[in-house]
Structure 1
């Protein structure tokens, strides 16, 4: 009798274990299905949506000057946007100048001084400079009649600095969720991840929050094995060595996520030197052309793209609305679009800033600006 009880107990344990395994497998499959469904919208060609009412932008821009200050001119993504802003500015009669810098706060301060001294109408802090770090300069510029704005910096959930004239948030939290869902689908719900971040840049926080929350929901068996935090000014000196060390210390890592794609220029050499190029998956965000080239070459797997040209149009649009006392959009209004091996060639070979997204936004803005 005692022997029978033991077998019965063992059978119950085995049955529970099998049931738990089946339930866990079903949970993984459900998470992958949710992730696939949420990714689908970002595989559709972006559609232009007018960010406001039509206005005569040439009349608004006449005689105006804008100084664009990136967090670092070494960032190809920001450099590309500003170059396109200059081209849009030439088209509408707006003088756009970049304040070139190497990511040093003292250089940003010098940019403010230059803008006030040289009679600029607006200073656009583009992606990465926290207004909190230059508050005295914002106050001084405002008192001198220079409007100060940000673009591609805040997440819509962030509380913006009240000294700013206007802001153009971007869905960084949304981006984190897209990255997480891509990993869920492309690792079968079991990714071992190294995350390359710059926590000094405020948008990093909502992006990582979105990444972690989406993994928790859809990929509970995924694991962030290592977070590599490197300041913007040190990308060129620290990312490659840090990634190499992380890979060597954690050979089970199968995904590396440089959350801003310009980091990839230092991640790819690390993968090549460790013999992991093409073995470790690399998803990222921004749509910088050289990174889409990496996809075509098989060095990067996915890039969540934003048309840099579209960003330039949207940024100029919002800043002109601000200068002419018109309502400013509450976000950047530039859609996200996933590039991978199946469609990266749409961006051109080599990839271009404004290719692969369609061109509806160009005619859309021109009509909105009464230029047709």
Structure 2
């Protein structure tokens, strides 16, 4: 009887050990997909919500959302190298400075499928880009400026990473629309996604150009910094603000009429569609990758007429 009990206990222990081993094996069998952003900004919360939604629909994958410690190409590259070394199966990245990082990005792309989002790196071996047409977004900013400044005026722009494709394309897109008009973009100042520097850039620009007519915030956090400085200096409502993205301060300014309008993207879709695209690709389904390797998620202009409906949609996606 005692021997039977010992046998049953031993068998039970073996079964428990086997169950834990199987659970561990299942966890290890999950392929990891990484979404790597270009720096710490609230803008990425929507993309993170999109990745979270994709995780619900991709239970056999481990979806990871990664922020580099600093908005620098070398820091971002180390993060991606570490992810590849840890066994990640595919990477999606908003490249900090693709022009100076071609070899480094190709190194990642030679080891795992590499996709880009937000800011493309078309000269690399990336599989596809999913995100906005930043040129079209820049053109929409130009349209806002022309409408808000019918008599013309001089604008100064502010942006995080002047070397990134998204910044360059937005600036060029805006310039193409205002070319030949009385609206000019006379300067663009970069801040390397440093919030203190972003605000100081606006303060310095205003001090050096007290008669400036318009300020353009090309990255999500730039319009709020413009708003803050103009409010503190008593110039809010006097200088036209052209914005990008959907920071709460930006949307509040659009509502009250102190910001002319904002060009918004759909980062939620980058996260959601991007993860599903990578999973399909790893499973051998390449039908979601178009011939031109560009999956464009449209941008749109948000002004006083549609800001309330847009804000309600945002809150529904990120749970308020």
The interval holding the TM-score normalised by the smaller chain is 0.7 to 0.9
303, 314, 318: which is aligned to 1:340? 303
Q: Which residue of the partner structure matches residue 118 of structure 1?
A: 86
Q: 1:224 aligns with which of 146, 160, 185?
A: 185
1:131, 1:224 → 2: CA distance? 24
Contact 2:153 2:183 (C-alpha < 8 Å) held by counterparts: yes
Instruction: Say whether residues 1:164 and 2:126 are aligned partners.
Output: yes
Aligned residues: 283
CA contact (8 A) 1:128 1:203 kept: no
Q: For the residues of structure 1 that align with 2:92 and 2:217, how far apart are their CA atoms? A: 26
Structure with greater strand share of residues: 2
User: 1:122 deviation in Å?
Assistant: 0.6
Q: Secondary structure at the match of 2:243?
A: strand
Counterparts of 2:137 and 2:43 in 1: how far apart (Å)? 16
Provide the C-alpha distance between the structure 2 equivalents of 1:275 and 1:192, rounded to a whole number of angstroms.
19
Deviation at 1:170? 3.0
1:199 aligns with 2:162: yes
Aligned to 2:145: 183
1:173 paired residue number: 135
Aligned to 2:230: 271
Structure 2 unmatched ranges of 5 or more: 1-28
- Residue 351 of structure 1: how far off its partner (Å): 5.1
Aligned counterparts, 1:3-82, within 5 A = 63-72=30-39, 74-82=40-48
Query: Are the equivalent residues in 2 in contact too, given 1:290–1:351 (CA < 8 A)?
Result: no
Deviation at 1:257, TM superposition (A): 0.4
CA distance in 2, matches of 1:96, 1:294: 35
Match of 2:118 in 1: 152
RMSD between aligned alpha carbons? 2.7
For 2:38 and 2:228, how far apart are their aligned partners in 1?
Answer: 24
Whether the aligned pair in 1 keeps the contact of 2:48 and 2:271 (CA below 8 Å) is: yes
> 3-state DSSP class of the match of 1:71?
coil
Asked if 2 retains the 8 angstrom alpha-carbon contact of 1:192 and 1:254, the reply is yes
* Alpha-carbon separation, structure 1, partners of 2:37 and 2:262: 21
CA contact (8 A) 2:254 2:304 kept: yes
CA distance in 2, matches of 1:342, 1:167: 32
